[in-house]
Amino acid sequence: ARLSAARYGKDNVRVYKVHKDKETGVHTVTEMTVCCLLEGEIETSYTVADNSVVVATDSIKNTIYIKAKENPVDPPELFASILGAHFLDTYKHIHKANVMIKVHRWTRMVIDDKPHPHSFLRDGEETRNVKAVITRDSIHLTSNITGLTVLKSTGSAFHSFLRDEFTTLPEVWDRILSTDVDCSWTWKTFANLAAVQKDVALFNKAWTDARTITMRTFANDDSASVQATMYKMAEEILEAAPEVEKASYKLPNKHYFDIDLSWYKGTKNTGADAEVVAPQSGPNGLIFCEVSRS
């Protein structure tokens, strides 16, 4: 037998960082969960118990804290690149760093119509995520939004689909549509950290655009299917971000089924009369797409 792949590091490193503006007294907080996995000439630590090549995962955790102290943690695309580049610069036997960051929401409270200087709320378990793969000659970045749960109460249909002896689903022209958005966009390859720093303004703009595009198209599209609507969203992300090479979605179709109440005094509650509806935990549709530049 031989070692055919290996990477190791620290997962679930929770980091909070606060920026305190001295002039205005306004605090800005970031909370993230970091995973950092290293690859390189580490085979002997697996095959012959040679720990001399091991940067301890505890040291990786310590490094995450120090780099968060020394550097901006926003945008996460930049911080992930800084962190990954550190390991390659510091350890000549490490040749690749995989850095995954999940940024949690702390949205500034608005109290009496005023943004509060140091109070925030967790308005959803949605996270902004980055996966960075750093080598000595490239930085590959993929950004992501996940956990943004949306619903529309109309403006969605699904009909004219293939019908055969396995088909029982009625055609529908007006349905509830709900999903948990998982949207990713993959950047052009960056040559190095300097190239990422040069384009630093692109990352927050792309995240804002992807989030806005997703909700606007979800809301406004007269949806013929999950497939058709998500394709439009992905196309719009590519139009908004020229430095993004491809955009993808993974969308569960979280079904809401009509409840027939006609047994009770002939109560009309199906189709156009549906008001009380049964949200389903499963089964659920699961629809993927990836859209690239032609």
Ligand X SMILES: O=c1[nH]c(=O)c2nn[nH]c2[nH]1
Judged by CB under 6 A, which of 98, 127, 129, 225 binds ligand X?
225
CA angle 174, 180, 182 (to 5 degrees): 125
Least separation in angstroms between residue 253's CB and ligand X is 5
Residues 152-171 that bind ligand X (CB under 6 A): 158, 169
Task: Compare residues 67 and 250 and give the one whose CB is closer to ligand X.
Answer: 250
d(CA 113, CA 19): 23
- Applying CB under 6 A, the site for ligand X has a residue count of 7
32 is an interface residue for ligand X by CB under 6 A = no
98 is an interface residue for ligand X by CB under 6 A = no
154 given a catalytic annotation: no
Task: Compare residues 142 and 179 and give the one whose CB is closer to ligand X.
Answer: 179
97 is an interface residue for ligand X by CB under 6 A = no
Least separation in angstroms between residue 81's CB and ligand X is 37
d(CA 34, CA 15): 7
Query: Which residue among 10, 86, 102, 131 is the active-site one?
Result: 10
Confirm if 211 and 148 have CB atoms less than 8 A apart.
yes
Please state whether beta strands 256-258 and 138-152 pair in parallel, antiparallel, or not at all (unpaired).
unpaired
Task: Compare residues 78 and 274 and give the one whose CB is closer to ligand X.
Answer: 274
Helix (H, G, I), strand (E, B) or coil at 283: coil
Task: Compare residues 79 and 158 and give the one whose CB is closer to ligand X.
Answer: 158
Cα torsion 64, 66, 68, 72 to 10°: value is: -130
Least separation in angstroms between residue 125's CB and ligand X is 24
147 is an interface residue for ligand X by CB under 6 A = no
Task: Compare residues 39 and 258 and give the one whose CB is closer to ligand X.
Answer: 258
Q: Select the span of 14-22, 27-35, 225-233, 237-245 touching ligand X (CB under 6 A).
A: 225-233
Query: Which residue among 28, 33, 57, 146 is the active-site one?
Result: 57
22 phi/psi in degrees, rounded to 5: -65, -35
285 is an interface residue for ligand X by CB under 6 A = yes
Own/partner long-range contacts of 212-218 (Cβ < 8 Å, ≥24 apart): 213/237, 213/240, 214/145, 214/148, 214/150, 214/181, 214/183, 215/148, 215/150, 218/150, 218/152, 218/177, 218/179, 218/181
63 phi/psi in degrees, rounded to 5: -65, -40
Handedness of CA 125, 128, 134, 140 (dihedral sign): positive
17 given a catalytic annotation: no
Helices within the chain (DSSP H only): 43-47, 57-70, 76-90, 193-198, 201-220, 226-240
Least separation in angstroms between residue 230's CB and ligand X is 9
253 is an interface residue for ligand X by CB under 6 A = yes
57 given a catalytic annotation: yes
Least separation in angstroms between residue 202's CB and ligand X is 32
Query: Which residue among 86, 104, 250, 255 is the active-site one?
Result: 255
- Record the tokens describing residue 225, joined without a space: 């299917």
Task: Compare residues 128 and 255 and give the one whose CB is closer to ligand X.
Answer: 255
Residue 81, beta-bridge partner list: none
Least separation in angstroms between residue 275's CB and ligand X is 22
Instruction: Write the single-letter amino acid at 291.
Output: V
Residues lying near ligand X in the complex (CB under 6 A): 158, 169, 225-227, 253, 285
User: Would you name the residues annotated as active-site residues?
Assistant: 10, 57, 255
